[in-house]
Structure 1
Amino acid sequence: MSSRMPLGLTFFKNERETVDEHLLRNRLHEHGRYEAFIREARHRPPLRAAIVHPCSPEAIRAAVEARDENLLDPLLIGPEAKIHAAADSAQLSLSGIPIEAVEHSHAAAARAVELGASGKVAALMKGSLHSDELIAAVVAASSGLRTERRISHVYAMDIPAYSKPLVITDAAINITPTLEQKRDICQNAIDFLRLMGVDEPRLAVMAAVETVNPKMPSTLDAAALTVMAARGQITGGLVDGPLAFDNAVNLAAAKTKGIVSVVAGRADILLVPDLEAGNMLVKQLMLFAGADGAGLVLGARLPIILTSRADSLRVRLASAALAKLVAERTRGAAAAS
């Protein structure tokens, strides 16, 4: 038998190093792009947020961490006994955190939406209920939180190998969006980056290729969205597509393909064709490129934080900080108009 180390292990410094340890050791360059806006958000008054059905240790921990960092002023909504049991399991005190008792997760979502519509909370944060249950309550015809826009999710990615923050949308809410829905998804993402200080975000409409192919509907949508932006149906940003992933984020790849574009090679936003493509892209960047992905749901009358049990503390705080800044700056823009 050969004494050579199996090929799959030669990437690691020794046989006992795990994949996670390898990724941590070889993280390219930690840019720390979240730190600036987390720091800014900490210095503002905490945002009143409804934590919807926080009946797991992870959900309680996320709420307490956001409070301790002066990001959120949490209101816990759910079955009181289960909330206290989750806090006990997490070994965390709920002293000073109010609880609004309801019977189950569906009632928690409905009550959180009611409080949001009446202005008593300025953001919603998902606890241990399913995302679909919370979103269904938000988009219900009678919710008071719907706008004329389709709601959509943005991942604000910190990717060590990319020279600036990158937004990926939509990888969590809209499964197979129509052209009209993609227009709203584009506008939500552009408006989000403008609130975060990017004057004219560059949005790449993604496809497998950078040419229009009638057999590939994603390329037709991309071309249509590009024209819609040129005609003022999408505003505030620069939109181009179809663009493949390489020529959307790599200027050399765009030049090699002969692509003349103000977006190619320097995208701020990637609009993916559907949820499956977006979800796979985000998770690949997280697992193979050491990226972090803070997330928000946009398009409602207030920001919605969708937390995951797998999120690191840094990502949870970044998501809360983004919600806080979006809520404050949206109110400021409305007051100025």
Structure 2
Amino acid sequence: MSSIVVTGGAGFIGAHLVRFLTQHSQDDIIIIDKLSYAGHLGRLSDVLPLAQIHFYQTDVCDTTAISEILQQHQPWAVMHLAAESHVDRSIDAPQVFLHNNTQGTLSLLQATLKYWQRLAPNLQAAFRYLQVSTDEVFGDADDNGYLATETSPYKPSSPYSASKAAADHYVQAYQRTFGLPTLISYCTNNYGPDQFPEKLIPLAIERIKNGQTIPVYGDGLQKRDWLYVEDHAHALWLMLTQAKPNQSYVVAAGRPISNLHLLEALYIEVQTQLQRPVNQTPIEFVNDRLGHDRCYALDASKIQQQLNWHTQTSLQQGLAATVHQALHTPLNIHP
């Protein structure tokens, strides 16, 4: 077996992962993405021509189509990133998140299980299914110093995080019931070049560039841990190639920051790169999001100790690279 399947490979994190894989693996990369509003092949324009890249515009909910792709390419790993990820959208349309995140994962698991069961024993042992989850399944840390770990209880707050939690439970059930070799990663907020502009950082960059105010929920003191997307891709690769099966890992930068402080740093970066004066950050406070968690904080010591993973990109470095790309080579996608 010499191929790796990446679902959601035209999404923000997925595209960065695909590019990382082309630089660190000789395997064929099988990209599966239905190209919903947040998926864009422009993110992959530099790697799509490569002989090792194979793209399928396919929905993970289509078990028959996924089974055919698995049978054709005989992968040794499936990395599942395809998901609806915007909390606001989940509040407006929770059934979409149930379908795409939970049912989609179950459908992919079923196709993967049938494929895996037909493999020879040595290939079964080498196989990995990696589920990319989120820190939001652990719920609100209440800004009290609590750090969630791989064994913390699930306490999802939004329809989005509930759909991801349910998907994780199916992954755990397929491992326990059928013996499928699985891995689960819990990552904090990702950011970096080519992120869909409904997310906080790209939205703020665009509004600062245009001289507009930045909408901020509530008092803006909610804390998030920001992980540069390339550091996340590296963590996933280490998990896939070095971790024992049936493990889970927290992937976090370990530097929670309030939304207000993040936007202040982002405003300074944008203004500096545009060579414009730095004044007061143009914040517009708006009504808080329903069920808005105050703080997410994770303890990444397991992946640091077992797999020797550490973040390579400081927040200042990551914001500078993200702003530079947004200002000079923006991807033509719109919410």
Q: TM-score range by the shorter chain?
A: 0.3 to 0.5
Task: Normalising by structure 1, report the TM-score.
Answer: 0.34
Task: Normalising by structure 2, report the TM-score.
Answer: 0.34
